Chains A and B, each alone.
Chain A
Amino acid sequence: MNHKGEYYQRDREWHPPAFDKGYKTSVTRSPQYALISLENSPSEITGPVFGHNDIDPLDNDLISNYAQPGESPIGERIIVHGRVLDENARPVPNTLVEIWQANAGGRYRHKKDTYLAPIDPNFGGCGRTLTDENGYYYFRTVKPGAYPWRNYINSWRPAHIHVSVFGASFAQRLITQLYFEGDPLIPRCPIVNTIPDPDAIQQLVAKLDLNATIPLDTIAYKFDIVLRGRRSTLFENRLEGN
């Protein structure tokens, strides 16, 4: 019988480092001392559990979840779908996936966003869902627009959707950003380029998925998410101390 052991060590060369001078805000918000590595204890291998009582079935439909009756947001109607897997390629079922994004013009519904592109009265910009037993999730939304930000004076974020995933443990907790295939702003973005490995960047680019489109209705992008995998304790390592 395979007991579950620790999560695989996170590959910190694959993830962005804390400090990257090209992304200016990181300069004063990055720890200077090395992280202290912890062996997993129950504090790390457990994490919050969510159920269908926590959310509503239509929380994953950003086209309707803030629209006035009979109205829709302006923009390119898209489906974003995929699976949440672990590094062993096993599905991560019943896990909470939350997203947020700007509207089609690149404007966020946030009191701190002062970009001159207008708010869409029928678009909130957030959604959430639980993966099914196969780790599958889907959202319907509009494709977000690029927007300017004060890094360099002419910096523009590529179109992106922020994605938050829990997994089965606090050690798997992850926030990232989804980009769209072919966007010429991707290689120019200082936040994207905090990731050192081009293959890692490719992992954040959702691919056009014509097979999943709804003809004459909604175009689709596929975005699989990989969370940390776990050892099997083939030989006991007394994780729980008993």
Chain B
Amino acid sequence: MEQKLDYLKETPSQTAGPYVHIGLAPGAAGFDIYRQELGWDIAGPNAKGERIRVEGIVIDGTGSPVKDVLLEAWQANSQGIYAHPEHDGEVEEGFRGWGRVITDFDTGEWGFDTVKPGPVMGRNGQMMAPHINLWIVARGINIGLNTRIYFDDEAEANAADPVINGVEWERRRQTLIARRTERDGQVVYRFDIRLQGGDETVFFDI
């Protein structure tokens, strides 16, 4: 007798298309509809830790900025705790850890304000360096791209990070590391994403 495996198949992905803003950021599409749009405030007012801004552009295979991207960030709080029932520990009231931003229609610049995440315990007792998980969708992207933002002032932790070290090519590891600067007294991390080409950003199959 044949024994059937009755697993379902995951619904296939499709591109978010050029008008993703209508559904996920309607204000940017040019109209107000919801009482509140989701994803504008990642950390909330009570979050402890260092306030930072993360920003950059997304660049296509021709070297041009991509101006219709939507990015989602997912991060732990400054203590390395995710706002999720499966992660032990408490986060500050109002800390969601998730955010959603779009690139500017004219310049392609994106950015979000948050707190710098703490290190998170990874697999097999290996600590992961502070990082922000990123998911990128746009016209021309058939399935969302996952990457991680690490911080260049965490060199020691980055050197021990199991995910960074899982990238065999040391030169490619640099594409995951945001550069710290200061502007008007604010800490800003620059993280440009290259979708294609020799210095292409590392993307993960998570």
Contact = CB atoms under 8 A, between A and B. Distances in A.
Contacts of A225: 11
A146 interface: no
A125 interface: yes
A203 B87 contact: no
Contacts of B142: 15-18, 20, 23, 26, 30, 194
B125 A33 contact: no
A191 B145 CA distance: 17
A49 B24 contact: no
Contacts of A226: 8-11
Given A14-B10, A173-B144, A204-B14, A100 B24 contact: yes
Nearest to A12: B205
A16 B143 contact: yes
Nearest to A195: B12
A36 interface: yes
A176 B86 contact: no
A45 B97 CA distance: 14
Q: Is the interface of A mostly helix, strand, loop or mixed?
A: loop
Q: Is the interface of B mostly helix, strand, loop or mixed?
A: loop
Contacts of B21: 110
A15 B12 contact: yes
B140 to A, nearest CB: 3
B205 A43 contact: no
A116 to B, nearest CB: 16
A129 B137 CA distance: 21
A122 interface: no
A31 B199 CA distance: 10
B190 interface: no
Contacts, number: 278
Contact of A41 (B11, B30, B122): B122
Nearest to B18: A112
A27 interface: yes
Given A42-B87, A48-B74, A175-B137, A29 B11 contact: no
B155 to A, nearest CB: 20
Interface string A1-37: 0001000101110111110100101111111110111
Contacts of B200: 31-33
Nearest to A157: B17
Interface residue tally on A, bucketed by range: 35 or more
Given A42-B82, A43-B131, A109-B30, A16 B13 contact: yes
A166 to B, nearest CB: 9
Interface stretch (A71-79, A209-217, A234-242): A234-242
A176 B38 contact: no
Interface in A191-212: 191-192, 194-195, 199-201, 203-204
B133 interface: yes
A10 B145 CA distance: 13
Contacts of B6: 89
A41 B12 contact: no
A108 B126 CA distance: 48
Contacts of B126: 241
Interface of A: 4, 8, 10-12, 14-18, 20, 23, 25-33, 35-50, 54-56, 59, 65-66, 85-89, 96, 98-101, 108-113, 124-126, 128, 162, 164, 169-171, 173-177, 191-192, 194-195, 199-201, 203-204, 225-229, 238-242
Top-10 shortest CB links A-B: A100-B23, A25-B140, A48-B98, A46-B84, A29-B140, A28-B61, A16-B142, A35-B205, A241-B125, A177-B14
Given A35-B204, A56-B34, 4 more contacts: A8-B7, A36-B204, A54-B38, A240-B121
5 contacts: A26-B140, A28-B62, A29-B196, A108-B22, A203-B11
